[in-house]
Structure 1
Amino acid sequence: MIDLASIPWADLAPFILIGFLAQLVDSALGMAFGVISNSLLLLLGLPPMAASAATHTVEGLASGTSGAAHALQRNVDWPLFARLVLPGIVGGLIGVWVLTFVHTDIARPVVLVYLAAIGAYLIWRAPRRPQAYRRMRLVGPLGFIGGFLDASGGGWGPIVTGNLLAQGMTPRMAVGTVNAAEFFVTVTVLSAFIGTLGLSSFTQAASGLLIGGIAAAPAGAWLTKRISPKLLMQLVGIVLIGISLWGFISLMFDPVPVFQRF
């Protein structure tokens, strides 16, 4: 039996809050857990490797809760899920292998420009064209690219959700389906990295992120079902542009920790 009184809640509180906020956005919009949690952990003063390890460890576990919550809210298109998940797993495994042997930083600016363009398009399109479901194209290659980029630095949610919305998919179904598939892709990537990360990645930071993430996942799925499609598209577009801007800033400057005690 866990003695709740012995848990250092005061030390965990900042990480629980970060996990809650990151997973709330990720569950509601289908992206951004990694960039939000990793950025805020760096601002708290965690070393980059520790922040990345904690984020990847928790993302695999929290995404399962998020996917289940979206399934309960009927936000998942299961045929599309089946078309996404296997290519995503294959792409993730290849991404881990490439990351081990090949320097991939040259591709990052290209991906960031792509995300900003998709984000701007979604913001422009949301008030002009109603969303109506139609069969999505190039789903397999999209899942493969999303899984590959997820392994080599993060990108499953922004790439896959943004592209499905740009193709015209119903926003809540796009977000829910991508969240459900993310669990399998992320766990595959995490398993491939486990020899390097080991159990040492499950630190106090990861524990707090996990508690906050699991608490937020059902709320995010609930919000997805109730936010209007146009507003959801605009919010996704704003987040995509924010991710792109943060990516370019991180390429130019080192993060400055707010707290130095870690």
Structure 2
Amino acid sequence: MRKLIVLAIIGLVAQLVDGSLGMAYGVTSSSLLLLFGIAPAVASASVHMAEVVTTAASGVSHIRFGNVDKSLVKKLIVPGSIGAFIGAVFLGSIPGDLIKPYVSFFLLGLGCFVIYRFLFRANNVQPDTRKAKINKKFYIPLGFIAGFFDATGGGGWGPITTPVLLSKNKMETRRVIGTVDTSEFAIAVSATVGFLFSIGWGQIHWQWVIALMIGGIIAAPIAAWLVKIIPSHMLGILVGGMIVMTNVRTLLNTAEFSPSATMMTYAALFVLWVIGIFYTARNIRKLKNCKQASQIEL
């Protein structure tokens, strides 16, 4: 019973982060299940089954708060679903651990770009509510790759699609996050079907799946509300920092850094992240004061 309660809490926290930052539910939940000694395929299958319910709740919440670009959802779900199904079916035979460092390096670069965009351009980059031009040729490989790595790694839809979409200048942060979370429902369904096809029902820990579902359902509307009220620049810094911290860990583990060197690296990055958050908060406050002053003069 204690383990189920812990899993429910982890599901709540993971969905709270995922729903407000557009990533981390699968990564957090899968990491916990792997710590319990669950095989990668079974862990990923359990997480994706839980995500069928949690992503549905998250998607409904984001739609309600106006955080979703439905046209982008339609462009992402088809290639993403195909990639997730293929990744789930072939997880047992694909050396995902060998590919993971290269993906992490790519994501680390995207995370740094996102931080640069929202930290050093916070004063001159304004949210643009206009729709970004949709390029089908761009979204097909993006959806497929993100769906494939999401299934093979137990998480990856958000960490891949969120920073890539954030790099598009005309995309609002909250709409990127809402769109990614809403489209993830289709990816979770496709991955689940693929896992049931490849490993069957018998290996799934249903109690763990239900515990993760309960925590995620509770957190979904709270996360959608948070992404509605938090300024776009602050969300960008939080997302970028999460991307960097998550992928640096993978790269350090691959390079077999000593525990002391790893801890020092984490500490330095965390301090820089906190400084960036305070710097962004100060810029947002200055921008608000300038707008208030302009309105008073008028």
Task: Please indicate, yes or no, whether the TM-score normalized by the shorter chain is above 0.5.
Answer: yes
Within 5 Å, give how 1:1-262 maps onto structure 2: 8=1, 10-43=2-35, 46-49=36-39, 51-127=43-119, 128=121, 129-132=125-128, 133=130, 134-137=132-135, 138-153=138-153, 154-168=155-169, 169-195=171-197, 196-251=199-254
- Shift of residue 53, structure 1, vs aligned partner: 4.1
* Distance (Å, rounded) in 2 between the aligned partners of 1:22 and 1:183: 16
Residue in structure 2 matched with residue 260 of structure 1 by the alignment = none
What is the deviation of 1:106? 3.1
Question: What CA distance in whole angstroms lies between the structure 2 residues aligned with 1:38 and 1:54?
Answer: 8
Answer yes or no: is the 8 Å Cα contact 2:30–2:47 preserved in 1.
yes
Residues 93 and 11 of structure 1, relative CA distance in 2, 3 Å threshold: closer
Q: Which amino acid aligns with 2:159?
A: P
Q: 1:197 to 1:120 in 2, by over 3 A?
A: farther
SS of equivalent residue, structure 2 residue 140: helix
Largest Rg, 1 or 2: 2
The alignment-based identity, stated in percent, is 38
Distance 2:97 2:6 in 1: 31
Please report how far the alpha carbon of residue 225 of structure 1 lies from its aligned counterpart in structure 2 after TM superposition. Answer: 0.8
Greater RCO structure (CA 8 Å; 6+ sep)? 1
Distance 1:98 1:29 in 2: 29
Unpaired runs of 5+ residues, structure 1, are 1-7, 254-262
- Distance in 2 separating the partners of 1:119 and 1:88: 21
CA distance in structure 2 between the partners assigned to 1:98 and 1:131 by the alignment: 41
For residues 82-121 of structure 1, the C-alpha deviation after alignment (integer angstroms, 9 at most, x for no partner) is: 1111111122223234435443433211110111111111
Contact 2:27–2:156, Cα closer than 8 Å, also in 1 = no
1:121 counterpart letter in structure 2: F
Deviation at 1:250, TM superposition (A): 4.8
- TM-score computed with the length of structure 1 as normaliser: 0.85
Aligned equivalent of 2:293: none
Query: With structure 2 as the length reference, what TM-score do the two structures score?
Result: 0.75
Shift of 1:122: 0.9
* Amino acid corresponding to residue 26 of structure 1 in structure 2: D
Cα drift, residue 243 of structure 1:
1.7
Q: Which runs of 5+ in 2 are unaligned?
A: 257-298
| Count of aligned positions | 243
- Cα pair 1:136 1:164 within 8 Å, conserved: no
